[in-house]
Amino acid sequence: MIKAGIIGGAGYTAGELIRLLVNHPEVEISFVHSTSNAGKNLYEVHEGLLGDTALKFCESFSLEDIDVLFLCSAHGASREFWQTHTCPKRLRVIDLAQDYRDESEGYVYGLPEWQRDRIRCARKIANPGCFATAIQLALLPLAAAGLLQGDVNITAITGSTGAGVKPGASTHFSWRNNNVSTYKVFEHQHLIEIRRNLSLLQPGLDAALNFVPMRGDFARGIFACITLDSPLDEREARQLYEDYYKDAAFTFVYAGSVDLKQVVNTNKCIVSVEKHSGKLVINSVIDNLLKGASGQAVQNMNLLFALKENAGLKLKASAF
């Protein structure tokens, strides 16, 4: 059994990660660290775990006794963690924060549809951001073919869990319910990793990435809609995507319209490709807590330990 440890165990992504690992056939959770919740049962914070595990949050732990460490703390906390801890040579690390998504300090960017072979050989993985995952999976085939030209217009809406577990003015129910808003227009932090990676696939990329993020009045999921000029007709574009993702374990090209209920509670990304009035229209849907965070982290762990890529991730969409 793979022994796993989790740092920063109280948030939404950690809760989903625990749910996945508790039910993973090849994993045993050794510890879940949370200074503020030390001594509490996991289910006292993550109530859906009641009856699934008797583990308690801990304050002290040993990195020598585990095989893989998941870092689930806030952005910036991962670098702080390694300032006071030493990483054993045999330990695999999967960081769910944005600290190492530039692939600094030996980290590999963990988007399996793009870097599966590098991930398999890595020791440290930087898990992608949720918006970044949905948007890159919508654009990777075009970038790989050198076909990102001119403006790339992106509108993507996310559920309230994307803002984290700590309540804020734009996350509490009375504001979010029956409401939609934009934020960080053209300035979202995930644009950094998106542009970096697309430029690696398509050197010399000078296309504008016009990203308008939106807050939705639902809990989980991301729906991204992207429009751009393209010389491809609809049949050619769909074939390009089908060829690119033919070996992908969780990304599927769909000929019909897509919606969030096809993917919520799964590690899937579903992409649709259409042509309208000379514009290519690409829709991409994911669960922000699974394919956009914890599910992708487990997918990366499976690759690191030479397991089946879908181990522990055969989840049914909560379509109703």
Q: Which residue reads 């870092």 in tokens?
A: 71
How many Å from the N-terminal Cα to the C-terminal Cα in the chain? 35
Question: In angstroms, rounded to a whole number, what is the distance separating the alpha carbons of residues 300 and 81?
Answer: 21
Question: In angstroms, rounded to a whole number, what is the distance separating the alpha carbons of residues 317 and 254?
Answer: 16
Say what angle helices 130-144 and 190-201 make with each other, to 10 degrees: 20
DSSP 128: P
* Residue of 156, 143, 134 lying closest to 268 (CA atoms): 134
Q: What residues contact 218, with CB distance under 8 A and at least 6 apart?
A: 159, 160, 260
- With vertex at residue 122, the alpha carbon angle to CA 8 and CA 130, rounded to the nearest 5 degrees, is 50
- Phi, then psi, of 295 in degrees rounded to 5: -65, -40
Say what angle helices 234-244 and 130-144 make with each other, to 10 degrees: 110
Question: In angstroms, rounded to a whole number, what is the distance separating the alpha carbons of residues 132 and 30?
Answer: 30
Neighbour-count burial of 169, counting CB atoms closer than 10 A to its CB (0-12 exposed, 13-18 middle, 19+ buried): exposed
Question: In angstroms, rounded to a whole number, what is the distance separating the alpha carbons of residues 237 and 234?
Answer: 5
- SS3 for 107-133, per residue? EEECCHHHHHHHHHCCCEEECCCHHHH
CA 181 vs. chain centroid, Å, equals 22
Q: At residue 302, what is the residue type?
A: N
- Could you give the residue numbers annotated as active site? 130
Helix (H) or strand (E) holding 238: helix 234-244
